[in-house]
Amino acid sequence: MNYGIVSQEQLEQIDTILSSKLIKLGVDCVIIIDMAGNIITAKDNGESKYDVYSFAALAAGNFATVDAMAKLVGEAEFSLLFHKGQESNIHFSKIDDELLLISMFGKDISLGFLRLNVVEAIEQIRKVWEGSKD
Amino acid sequence: MSFINLKDKVVQVKIVYYGPGRCGKTTNLEYINRKFRSQIQSEMVSLKTHGDRTLFFDFLPFDMGKIKGYDIKIQLYTVPGQVKYNATRKLVLKGVDGVVFVADAMEKQREKNIRSLNQLHENLQAYKESIFKLPLVIQYNKVDLKEHGVPILPTAVLRKDLNSRLKVPDFEASAITGYNVAATLKKIISSTVVSMQKKLL
Ligand SMILES: Nc1nc2c(ncn2[C@@H]2O[C@H](COP(=O)(O)OP(=O)(O)OP(=O)(O)O)[C@@H](O)[C@H]2O)c(=O)[nH]1
Ligand SMILES: [Mg+2]
């Protein structure tokens, strides 16, 4: 299967992972995007109202910028990208060279706890993704 | 590459307005944003400097309705045209499905148009895309200036400079009055959707 097309089955599996690993913990909104700013899937707790399309375009730009800066200073990448606010936080994590997982969460979740769960979710998502490639 | 979601039946298409500094890319999107307000759910996002020059990109998502049961979501972007911003221009081109090259018809911009088009060619190559294969439409913008006595290049000259090898659809336009802005947009959308359908089959 070509990258750029995900099957219904894959998306359902990914959505289940996002729900059980992240939304259940209290994460407000999780989005998977590609590096071009397309949305692969978005899940939220039913309350948040983000403009996910604009968000994806900005997030891809933001990630690409930081990545380009890393290369300029001779780093392969900056592995952690995290924006902290008063009420909400945004955490970026690379799934692979093409995909990003973005979590938006409030102040009742600690970064460490979130990261742990993001890592697990990403491992599972990679399996779904790779399973489809062959 | 456009992204196709088989579950929700959504296709996202990325179209980039490219061209030299101050040629009118942002003005094109602003006109589309006003004119097609009813098809646009969100606000236009503009990352710009204090002097209203594009710093990173403008972004305007646009609903096309359905084709073969798929919801077509067009994502319009502009690049920053200033010479010094090539690194960011490249980033915006990532995953592009179709390009509108906006040329500035003012006589004094002749060289800049050519240089910008050449750089588009190089930037696409960095993504293993070819300017000869990617859906492309060329717009000769600012033709309204003729009425104001500003020297502008005849379209035949612009064509010879920019479109003699590419031979893609092209339009005279005025982003400020809206002349041929929608025609340009429709053409790039149809070329892009046709090329995507080919890839899908
Ligand atoms: N007369 C005339 N002026 C135009 C036209 N299109 C754009 N302009 C003007 O040209 C200037 C630059 O336009 P922008 O749309 O900001 O140009 P841009 O290509 O986005 O420039 P960068 O963001 O720096 O790359 C503005 O003052 C516009 O009002 C046009 O069709 N006719
Ligand atoms: Mg601009």
Helix, strand, or coil (residue B100): strand
B3-200 under CATH 3.10.270.10, yes or no: no
Asked if residue A117 is part of any domain, the answer here is yes
What is the position in ligand 1's atom list of the atom closest to the CA of B78? 20
pLDDT in tens, A29-63: 999 998 888 899 999 988 877 788 888 888 988 98
Q: State how far the Cα of B93 lies from the Cα of B97, in Å rounded to an integer.
A: 9
Q: State how far the Cα of A126 lies from the Cα of A32, in Å rounded to an integer.
A: 12
Asked if residue A81 is part of any domain, the answer here is yes
Q: How many Å lie between the centroid of ligand 2 and the Cα of residue A43?
A: 33
- Domain range for A117: 8-129
pLDDT in tens, B88-101: 999 999 999 999 99
Of A87, A125, A78, A124, the closest CA to residue A109 belongs to A87
Domain positions in chain B are 3-200
Which residues of A, range 21-80, sit inside 8 Å of B by Cβ? 34-41, 51, 53-54, 57-58, 60-61, 64-65, 68
Q: Name which of A4, A8, A12 is nearest B3 (Cβ-Cβ).
A: A4
Asked if residue A67 is part of any domain, the answer here is yes
Q: How many Å lie between the centroid of ligand 2 and the Cα of residue A121?
A: 39
CATH number where A27 lies: 3.30.450.30
Helix, strand, or coil (residue B63): strand
What integer pLDDT is reported at residue B2 of this predicted model?
Answer: 64
| Count of domains for chain A | 1
Which residues have any ligand 1 atom within 6 Å of their CB? B 19, 21-27, 53-54, 78, 80-82, 141-142, 144-145, 174-176
Residue B1 has pLDDT above 70, yes or no: no
- Confidence at B151, pLDDT banded by 50, 70, 90: very high
Q: State how far the Cα of A52 lies from the Cα of B66, in Å rounded to an integer.
A: 20
pLDDT in tens, B6-65: 778 888 999 999 999 999 999 999 999 999 998 888 889 998 888 889 998 999 998 888
* Residue A115 C-alpha from the chain's centroid: 11
Of B185, B189, B163, the closest CA to residue B28 belongs to B185
Q: For ligand 1, pick from B26, B27, B78 the residue to mutate: most ligand atoms within 8 Å of CB.
A: B27
Complex ipTM:
0.73
What integer pLDDT is reported at residue B64 of this predicted model?
Answer: 86
What integer pLDDT is reported at residue B17 of this predicted model?
Answer: 98
**Could you say which residues of chain A have pLDDT below 70?**
1-5, 131-134
SS (H, E, C) A79-115: CCEEEECCCEEEEEEECCCCEEEEEEEECCCCHHHHH
